[in-house]
Structure 1
Amino acid sequence: MSQSFGAKNLKRVGIVLQRSILVLMLCCFPCWALLLNTESLLLFLQQDPEVSRIAQIYVMILIPSLPATFLFQLQAKYLQSQGIILPQVVTGIAANILNVGVNALLLYALDFGVAGSAWANTTSQFSLSALLFLYVWWKKIHVHTWGGWTRDCLQEWGSFIQLAIPSMFMVCIEWWTFEVGTFLAGLMSVTELGAQAVIYVLASVAYMVPLGLGVAASVRVGSALGAGDAQQARHSCTTALLCAGVCALVTGILLAALKDVVAYAFTSDKDIVSLVSQVMPIFAPFHLFDALAGTSGGVLRGAGKQKMGAFLNAIGYYVFGFPLGASLMFAANHGIIGLWSGLTACVFFQTLFYLVYIWRINWNRAAEQAQVQAGLRGTTEAVPTTTGKFMGPVLQGPDSRFSCPERGA
């Protein structure tokens, strides 16, 4: 969408949104099938029967909110592609205030327990989607990009899925690794599990800044390439990476300095606090590399290189990082210290591969391809640039990293 918006092909933005709505509504069905069998799956994984039963109750109430969750994410991406961020902040604050109130009512006043919490979260998801929709309609943000439902949204599903699936894996590969890591920590001891939970929360909070920078990089790079402005895309990429590196460096130093006390924000257990303190010096460099990798992933998404991003994530986490971390965790008996050591080695090489790939991108050629994806060109053949020269290949050697081989017109 950001490439189409940058190319001023505004109606195509709405068509992509319509196509996304249809695809995600269809995705609800396999997700519902999985959620309906939550209890059976948890029992299969040897989880506590009572916990599995309660989880099934929670999920059954949450199931109807899945379309609303998907629609909110779509609306958010729709606005982000146009550089509009404030509506998400406003509606997010409003929905969270509502969520707190409904949780307090159902949990404490009416004593609905787990079911009350589930109903509160379901209400929150619907309110998020509805509030953002009403904001867009009220401010008439959709006027120039939404031309009404059209049969065009039923076209080009193949190319859409080819971008969507790698984009999904870019996020899920890392996310699944942390979830499995938490599961493995629970197999060792309660202390290991508690410390892993604390570090996971800290990692999630610390990642919010590079996550935002990754989104900004994706939007800015995509818009610039869609507009055919290769130089602006390159500058946006460089700026995002520099900001991510500086912010992550400051955050890492702060967490390392507070390693002996930061866990007290979550628990008073001395053993957990001590274990978190031992992991923090490892987590600090992990966060630096993870921030750079996350922002680089945003650049690749903006440039339409999701397949490469998914490939690098898969290699980094499942070929190197996670096997190494699991080996250090169990075979070497280092617990979560070993797990985070393996993950740190993983994101170091992942970041290195990302930066080398971005360094070798031919931004002029990437701009041409973006305009093809945005519907402004019907071919990917070489076309003259603003200098009268012809565009070369997408990737090139390091000797001419930010320009393309020029041939006479």
Structure 2
Amino acid sequence: MMNLGLPLAVSFFCRMGMASTDSAFVGHIQDAHHSPETYLAAAVLSDMCVNVFVTPALAFNQVLNALVGQAMGSGNPKMAGIWLQQSVFWLSLSMLPFLAGFFYVEECLLFLGFPADVSRVAGVYAVYNIVWPIPNGVYQCMRFYFQAQGLPRPAMYNNIAFLFINALLNWIFVFGG
């Protein structure tokens, strides 16, 4: 139980730690045009919209635990690899139309009644976020593929490393290093 549960728990907490670190640093951005509160509100609202846009395509990686587990359990590891390839392909392809929504975050937030300055900053933030959903989706496919085979440690090591890399990059980009 601990061989599987502990690495999964560590991975989960590292991923949550990265999201919290991002929010903490964004809350310290200040310039002549906007307050830290505006940047933080914009980032949180933008993340909310982005998560709504990417969720449908992420269905292709969520099924891997079951499909790879069934393939491995039936003694057919080749089928597990086929499921991984199918998942990566369909996730990447289906993500493309949802990425278009990133360009309309400002309009969505204005329609929902949020302030114009917050909506504008959130729209810019969303456009800069367009680069991560497909690579993150592919990473999640790999993570679930290995996890279904009882190999959660690669994801744990990756998440531990990137918890610190993420904090360092936030420090560099927000405070200038």
Q: 1:220–1:233: 8 Å Cα contact kept in structure 2? A: yes
- 1:196 partner SS: helix
1:280 paired to 2:126: yes
Q: Which has the larger radius of gyration?
A: 1
**1:264 equivalent in structure 2:** 110
Matches within 5 A, 1:112-261: 160-188=1-29, 189-256=36-103, 258-261=104-107
Matches within 5 A, 1:360-399: none
Cα deviations across residues 110-153 of structure 1 (Å, max 9, x unaligned)? Answer: xxxxxxxxxxxxxxxxxxxxxxxxxxxxxxxxxxxxxxxxxxxx
TM-score (norm 1): 0.39
Task: Write the distance in 1 (CA, Å) between the matches of 2:85 and 2:142.
Answer: 10
Q: Compared with structure 1, are the counterparts of its residues 253 and 298 closer, same or farther at alpha carbon in structure 2 (3 Å cutoff)?
A: same
Cα deviations across residues 152-180 of structure 1 (Å, max 9, x unaligned)? Answer: xxxxxxxx111111112233322221123
**1:330 equivalent in structure 2:** 175
Q: 1:210–1:292: 8 Å Cα contact kept in structure 2? A: no
Task: Write the distance in 1 (CA, Å) between the matches of 2:12 and 2:94.
Answer: 21
Matches within 5 A, 1:283-322: 283-315=129-161, 317-322=162-167
Task: Write the distance in 1 (CA, Å) between the matches of 2:75 and 2:102.
Answer: 41
Q: 2:105–2:123: 8 Å Cα contact kept in structure 1? A: yes
Task: Write the distance in 2 (CA, Å) between the matches of 1:268 and 1:281.
Answer: 18
Cα deviations across residues 331-389 of structure 1 (Å, max 9, x unaligned)? Answer: 27xxxxxxxxxxxxxxxxxxxxxxxxxxxxxxxxxxxxxxxxxxxxxxxxxxxxxxxxx
Task: Write the distance in 2 (CA, Å) between the matches of 1:265 and 1:299.
Answer: 40
Q: Quote the sequence identity (%).
A: 12
Q: 2:58–2:91: 8 Å Cα contact kept in structure 1? A: no
Task: Write the distance in 1 (CA, Å) between the matches of 2:8 and 2:60.
Answer: 17
CA RMSD between the two structures: 2.1
Matches within 5 A, 1:46-61: none
Q: 2:50–2:102: 8 Å Cα contact kept in structure 1? A: no
**2:33 equivalent in structure 1:** none
Q: Compared with structure 1, are the counterparts of its residues 326 and 213 closer, same or farther at alpha carbon in structure 2 (3 Å cutoff)?
A: farther
Q: CA deviation at 1:182?
A: 1.9
Q: CA deviation at 1:210?
A: 4.8
Q: Compared with structure 1, are the counterparts of its residues 211 and 170 closer, same or farther at alpha carbon in structure 2 (3 Å cutoff)?
A: farther
Q: 1:267–1:273: 8 Å Cα contact kept in structure 2? A: no
Task: Write the distance in 1 (CA, Å) between the matches of 2:146 and 2:94.
Answer: 20
Task: Write the distance in 1 (CA, Å) between the matches of 2:118 and 2:171.
Answer: 20
Q: CA deviation at 1:259?
A: 4.5
Task: Write the distance in 1 (CA, Å) between the matches of 2:113 and 2:26.
Answer: 17
Amino acid at match of 2:165: F
Q: Larger relative contact order (C-alpha < 8 A, sep ≥ 6)? A: 2
Q: 1:224–1:233: 8 Å Cα contact kept in structure 2? A: yes
Matches within 5 A, 1:90-105: none
Task: Write the distance in 2 (CA, Å) between the matches of 1:218 and 1:273.
Answer: 37
TM-score (norm 2): 0.84
- Structure in which a larger fraction of residues adopt helix: 2
Task: Write the distance in 1 (CA, Å) between the matches of 2:14 and 2:21.
Answer: 11
Q: 1:170–1:310: 8 Å Cα contact kept in structure 2? A: yes
